[in-house]
Structure 1
Amino acid sequence: MIINTTHHNAEHKQIIADLVGYPFSLVQKLKMKGVGSKRMIIEEVSPNMQSMMNTVSDINYANIELRPKGILVMINQGLKNFTWIIPYYQLVIYKVNGSSLHAQGRFIHFKNSKTFKENKKFFDKLLDEKVKYDMQFSMPATI
């Protein structure tokens, strides 16, 4: 689900909390050594997300925030902000010449640049959180 978060809206805050959980507490954020990525350059998006990209030749940026049950991808388009809410069970990550996030019939591909390389530790943390979440629902090996 993608919502326009340019202006504060209490209803949006509740939708985000229902889908991916409330933000981590300050203590949890310190233990995890941060829950947000640095901004990354968007190289390509799916056709159904094209309307959120800058129409002129400006560089498009996005960053990611971890939540207990998913992630938030914040996309900046000029003065507008959009948030793509992705629960972990819908998230698929591909590592091909940068990184690509897929969910809900959409994708966003981040350019393999200096800003992307600075986020390697963040992507490792993201994968660890996704695995932790998926292990809650794993099938028992033996009965």
Structure 2
Amino acid sequence: MLLNVSYNDKKITKKINEAVGKTIPLKERFAMGGIGSPKLHITEASIDIYNLLVLDNSTNSCNVEIRPNGIIVRFRSRLETYALIIPYYKLNVYKGDIGIYSIYMDHYFIKVRSDTKAIQRFFRKLMDHRADNLPTNLEDL
């Protein structure tokens, strides 16, 4: 789901926490080596996200936050912050030939450049965390 998270709204926070879980505790963050990605440069996006990104002339970038049951992809457009909330059971990540990672959920997608080792390590950490926390039964959803 694509949400405007610029303002502190309890309803939106509750929706996010139900979809991907609350933020990971500080002790676990240190053990994981961090839960946030480096700055990711967007090369391509689905039409809904693209329409938001073209509203301003800044460089299109995003970051990814790992949560217990999914990820949050955040990006800015004008003065607003948007988040793409992706539970692990809907997440698809593909690595392209040219050093591009593609993040898919339903009809949304974002393609980001992976030009540094830090970005590649982050996506490996993300996929390992997803494998450990992916629900095994439909009742777990």
Normalised TM-score (structure 2): 0.89
Give the Cα–Cα distance (whole angstroms) in 2 for the partners of residues 87 and 113 of structure 1: 26
Give the Cα–Cα distance (whole angstroms) in 2 for the partners of residues 78 and 56 of structure 1: 6
Give the Cα–Cα distance (whole angstroms) in 2 for the partners of residues 112 and 119 of structure 1: 6
Contact 1:54 1:78 in 2 (8 A): no
Count how many residue pairs are aligned between Structure 1 and Structure 2.
Answer: 135
Contact 2:56 2:77 in 1 (8 A): no
**Counterpart residue number, 2:110:** 108
Correspondence list, 1:49-128, <5 A? 49-96=49-96, 97=98, 98-114=100-116, 117-128=117-128
Please state if 1:21 is matched with 2:17.
no
Give the Cα–Cα distance (whole angstroms) in 2 for the partners of residues 11 and 52 of structure 1: 22
What one-letter code is carried by the residue in structure 2 that aligns with 1:21?
G
What one-letter code is carried by the residue in structure 2 that aligns with 1:137?
T
Secondary structure of the 1:15 match is helix
Give the Cα–Cα distance (whole angstroms) in 2 for the partners of residues 105 and 54 of structure 1: 19
**Counterpart residue number, 2:44:** 44
Unaligned 5+ runs, structure 2:
none
Find runs of 4+ consecutive structure 1 residues off by over 4 angstroms: none
How well do the aligned residues superpose, as a CA RMSD in angstroms?
1.5
Change (3 A) 1:56 1:16: closer
Give the Cα–Cα distance (whole angstroms) in 2 for the partners of residues 72 and 123 of structure 1: 13
Give the Cα–Cα distance (whole angstroms) in 2 for the partners of residues 79 and 38 of structure 1: 21
Give the Cα–Cα distance (whole angstroms) in 1 for the partners of residues 68 and 124 of structure 2: 16
Unaligned 5+ runs, structure 1:
139-143
Secondary structure of the 1:58 match is coil
Which has more radius of gyration? 1
**By how many angstroms is 1:79 displaced?**
1.4
Give the Cα–Cα distance (whole angstroms) in 2 for the partners of residues 113 and 57 of structure 1: 22
Q: In the TM superposition, what whole-angstrom CA distance separates every residue of 1:63-106 from its partner, at most 9, and x where no partner exists?
A: 00000000000011131100100000000001012100000211
Give the Cα–Cα distance (whole angstroms) in 1 for the partners of residues 56 and 75 of structure 2: 16
